[in-house]
Structure 1
Amino acid sequence: MTFSPPLEISTPEDSVNTRRIPGELPGTYAEDLGNTPAKARSVPAPVFGATDRRRGWIVTLILTAIGALTRFINLGTPTDKGTPVFDEKHYVPQAWQVLTGDNWLEDNPAYGLVVHPPVGKWMIAIGEWIFGYDAWGWRFMSAVCGTLMILVVIRLVRRLSRSTLVGAIAGVLLICDGVTFVASRTGLLDIFQIFFVVAALSCIVCDRDQMRARMHRVHLEGRMADSVYGPRLGFRWWRFGAAILLGLACGTKWSGIYFVMFFIVLSLGFDVAARRAYGVRRPWRGVLVRDLVPTGFSLGVTPILVYLATFAPWFASETAVYRYEVGRKIGTGGPFTWVPDALRSLWYYESGVLDFHSHLTNSAGNHHPWESKPWTWPMSLRPMLYYIEYGPDKCGESDCVRAMMFIGTPILWWLALPMLAWALWRMFIRRDWRYAVVLTGYGAAFLPWFGNLDRQMYFFYGTAIAPFLIMGLALIIGDVLSASRRARKNPYEWRLVGAVGVSIYIGLVVLNFMWMWPILTGSPISRELWNMQIWLPSWS
């Protein structure tokens, strides 16, 4: 049994220690994305994730507990005189109707604006079932999922970096991120979707490691050359779990479909890289023959089935809105008569939702004072003010201000562009698969919104960017520590410089989060302090 040193940092170059095959050249990490000729390839060592499992779980649970404290402290504030704030006013009553009505349905589109699938409202309803119709009730499950996301990100980054320390750094950064913090303390839908998305990505990374373990076993048994396409990999439970979670993400908000498409590409990329790394003679054809159809069914079809399953109460209801539209607003003839009436009615319902969103455009006259476009999201340049109240408390000589602002912690979010530049360089030049994971998630959360810039948009549409920004920053910090550890000249001094620099940065992140705490939680502050919190004109 071996134990890693307390502050071990593993990098791809360190951890891909290759197992030599007689007559072959030593391998490099670049093989992992498949840019090395087959005759020069070695077989990667079967090392996946950090090896200090016990310490890893202790660190994970401690940081998750700290994150839970930040998410649950004073969770019941602020409110609008005991009622929901901001868009909670839509989803909280809908969740209550789900809980108190028939068949777990919300069916009043005229008042409730039922324009999103039901899963997020079911989650809110769980908290309302436990605590009742108050702020703790409608925010409880948001705080639970926001806390669990900290655990998932720690474990995911730990697996990517093969370092418990880097995983812990990711946990600290996520705890101090203003976007996920506020999302975890409000009864809105976004926190549920990004939790399902990050959990799905974790499953895909676990599937990558499991498939490489299977490939390695085939290699050791000498069966790799039995087919030019490589071995069949069997049923992939981690990938199936990812499909279920992606279906729940789509069942929370439609934008989950972007992650389905991006993650399918990522999973197939992992399969190509694995077959190349183990010397399969036709890796691309192998993926087409062995992996493409199973991946399509698993990550493509299963999320659709899960999405449809989330409408099971709607299908079972006799009174659900738009449940029986065939023969009323939908004709009984036409080329789609073979489709069951229930699915045609659901399509009518969903097409109405799409029509509602498609008319929320600037050209149609829809403008909002806190609207923002996607190019402002990476640096959180135009946040959202969820709540503000002046007085009646006294803070010094003036009335107090209570405000809740949906905003990214600047010392994290203002590094988004350098993070993306570094990630692109590592992915395309150094062939670093870890940054491919980060960029895939970031791209799915960000790029599709450029497809219709006329649409009315807000910063909270970019909530899903946050965990991938944190993951990228944590991996970069790991690279800094690794580079200082590998320095050939004055290694002790460089290691000290790296550790001190990283410690200062993390300390600044924590201080920045503490400074912003009042405007993230609606705590009473003076007008002078409120003005000091507004760093940019675009924040007001």
Structure 2
Amino acid sequence: MNPNKKHSHKSIFVFALGMLGVFLLSLTLRFWQLERFNTLVFDEVYYAKFANDYLTKTPFFNAHPPLSQYIIAIGIWIGTHLPFGKTAVNSMAGSLLSPWDYRWLNALTGSFIPLVVGALAYQLVRRHSYAFLATLFAACDGLFLVESRYALNNIYLVLFGILGQLFLLKSVEAKGKKRWLWLVLAGIGFGASAAIKWNGLWFLLGTYLILICAWAVRLIQGKKGDKEHSREVNSALIPPESPVQKLTQLNFIEVGLTLAVIPILVYSLSWIPHLHLNPTPNFWQMQTEILTYHQRIKSGPDVHPYCSTWYSWPLMLRPIVYFYKTASNNAQPDPVLPPLPEGATKTIFDVHAMGNPFLWWLSTLALLLVIGVLVHRILVWLQTRSEASVDTIEQQRPILFPPTAEMWLALYLIVNWAANLLPWMKVTRCIFLYHYMGCSVFAALALAWWTDRWLHSPQTRLRGMGVTIIFLVLGAFIFWMPIYLGLPLSQMEWKIRMWLASWV
């Protein structure tokens, strides 16, 4: 038996086992005591209620597209027919429901996000170690954990947006009917993301921008001089194409279908059930109503205490308190809260919608390093092109940019991060930290890239840095776990987790 093949099978098995372990961890954390707060937490007052309104056929107005409420409604309908998850009930959503009923489908969906992020990482670079680190970091993000444990809609927006990009990248690796299948799925993903919230369009914007970049590089490389060099050089010297680079293989019809026709069709069709229940305003009037509603919302602490600025998100300066209650054994039991620990005099139950601090801070630094590397490569490439002479050795090989699949990865991460962040500069309404969730995926992918490179470095110092980053992310996730899950804390235990005054 070929020893290399045996080693390859072993590596794949270890990789699959690791991915399964991360998924099971994500699943456990999202479902653990899912019904512990018997109330509507934060925006559950909208989404759980609106979802139940569809089931009870109660007309209502919603300031966002309806797809996430359909999904939650499906979860409620299934949940009410399950023989478990009924330890507590309330009627805050308009019907007598258990918190499990309106939360379980979000928890299940959120459990798959780390796997989808890992799949995207593998599609970009084809490295199992990089894909596993991306999956692990996504599973250690506290904001995604919190958003998955309640009937909210941001996890659906991110999931559909990432799937749209993943399917588009997979389409360029396929031919014929398989390519069309991936393209159709990509278009559905982009349309579904926009049908959750309009800012789901940022994933589509990032795709447009990276496609433009890929075409720009191809046109530059397609100049006569580069073509002549390419004919003279052994093809083995030319780096293999990245899936991002291969996007230029898509023709006009395929791009138009994926990035325009299908997304518009999916978004439009998503309104049919809503309009059947609420025939007025009509489809076009609803789009105007949504726009004017958000334009009327101001910003600042008077509007909402947890409004934050877009430029504060990468440093996570202003998280959101989704739930906060104090209790003691001397007071009457609160039906909303789980039983208090024995001997507790004053207990704090706090659910903070915040990311893993070390993951976010290190991801921001990693992204800045990626930008630096990419800018440096561009400058070197431009200098090489301008200084190259026909008689020099440099002219014996094609001057390509970016020279490796990893540089295409860098370009992809930067463009998509910027596309998900910079449009918020023009938004005047109150905005929140969870609007950074799409950006955080690409920032975490940048951190996973550096960590993977350092772990495979021959330098002990760099390998030590990679290991340190992993332990910092895991340690921070465990340390702040109580305020992700809403575990009972003493006053001191709560204070030592509030590192910044703006977190309170």
TM superposition score normalised by structure 2:
0.77
Q: Which residue of 2 aligns with 1:373?
A: 309
Counterpart CA distance in 2 for 1:289 and 1:536 is 49
Counterpart CA distance in 2 for 1:56 and 1:350 is 45
Residues 20-419 of structure 1: pairs in structure 2 closer than 5 A: 53-77=12-36, 79=37, 82-101=38-57, 107-109=59-61, 114-132=62-80, 133-210=97-174, 236-270=180-214, 291-315=251-275, 317=276, 320-323=278-281, 345-362=282-299, 367-393=303-329, 398-419=345-366
> Unpaired runs of 5+ in structure 2?
81-96, 229-245, 330-339, 378-401
Secondary structure of 2:480 counterpart: helix
Q: Which amino acid counterpart does residue 301 of structure 1 have in structure 2? A: V
Secondary structure of 1:464 counterpart: helix
Going from structure 1 to structure 2, the CA distance change for 1:148 and 1:287 (only over 3 Å counts) comes to: closer
Q: Which amino acid counterpart does residue 322 of structure 1 have in structure 2? A: T
- The answer (yes or no) to whether the contact 1:127–1:136 under 8 Å persists in 2 is no
Secondary structure of 2:155 counterpart: helix
Counterpart CA distance in 2 for 1:98 and 1:408 is 32
Which residue, 526, 533, 538 being the options, matches 2:490? Answer: 526
Counterpart CA distance in 2 for 1:516 and 1:458 is 20
Q: CA deviation at 1:189?
A: 0.7
Which residue, 383, 397, 421 being the options, matches 2:368? Answer: 421
Q: CA deviation at 1:182?
A: 0.8
Q: Which residue of 1 aligns with 2:422?
A: 447
- The answer (yes or no) to whether the contact 1:271–1:291 under 8 Å persists in 2 is no
Residues 1:460 and 2:434 are matched in the alignment: yes
Counterpart CA distance in 1 for 2:21 and 2:247 is 41
Q: Which has the higher helix share?
A: 2
Counterpart CA distance in 1 for 2:250 and 2:158 is 31
Going from structure 1 to structure 2, the CA distance change for 1:4 and 1:405 (only over 3 Å counts) comes to: farther
Q: Which amino acid counterpart does residue 176 of structure 1 have in structure 2? A: C
Secondary structure of 1:387 counterpart: strand
Residues 1:510 and 2:478 are matched in the alignment: no
Q: CA deviation at 1:240?
A: 2.5
Q: Which residue of 2 aligns with 1:16?
A: none
Q: CA deviation at 1:511?
A: 1.4
Counterpart CA distance in 2 for 1:351 and 1:369 is 27
Which residue, 454, 458, 480 being the options, matches 2:454? Answer: 480
Q: CA deviation at 1:269?
A: 3.9
Q: CA deviation at 1:297?
A: 2.9
Counterpart CA distance in 2 for 1:371 and 1:180 is 19
Counterpart CA distance in 2 for 1:69 and 1:267 is 38
> Unpaired runs of 5+ in structure 1?
9-49, 215-232, 324-344, 486-493
Q: Which residue of 2 aligns with 1:21?
A: none
Going from structure 1 to structure 2, the CA distance change for 1:499 and 1:89 (only over 3 Å counts) comes to: same
TM superposition score normalised by structure 1:
0.73
| % identity of equivalent residues | 24
RMSD: 3.1
- The answer (yes or no) to whether the contact 1:360–1:366 under 8 Å persists in 2 is no
- Aligned residue pair count: 429
Q: Which amino acid counterpart does residue 537 of structure 1 have in structure 2? A: A
Counterpart CA distance in 1 for 2:440 and 2:419 is 12
- The answer (yes or no) to whether the contact 1:398–1:527 under 8 Å persists in 2 is no
- The answer (yes or no) to whether the contact 2:374–2:411 under 8 Å persists in 1 is yes
Counterpart CA distance in 2 for 1:404 and 1:235 is 43
Q: Which amino acid counterpart does residue 291 of structure 1 have in structure 2? A: N
Counterpart CA distance in 2 for 1:281 and 1:392 is 76
Q: Which residue of 2 aligns with 1:437?
A: 412
Q: CA deviation at 1:243?
A: 1.0
Going from structure 1 to structure 2, the CA distance change for 1:2 and 1:271 (only over 3 Å counts) comes to: farther
Secondary structure of 1:398 counterpart: coil
Q: Which residue of 1 aligns with 2:389?
A: none
Going from structure 1 to structure 2, the CA distance change for 1:146 and 1:441 (only over 3 Å counts) comes to: farther
Going from structure 1 to structure 2, the CA distance change for 1:2 and 1:376 (only over 3 Å counts) comes to: farther
Q: Which amino acid counterpart does residue 59 of structure 2 have in structure 1? A: D
Which residue, 440, 443, 447 being the options, matches 1:469? Answer: 443
Secondary structure of 2:132 counterpart: helix
Q: Which residue of 2 aligns with 1:489?
A: none
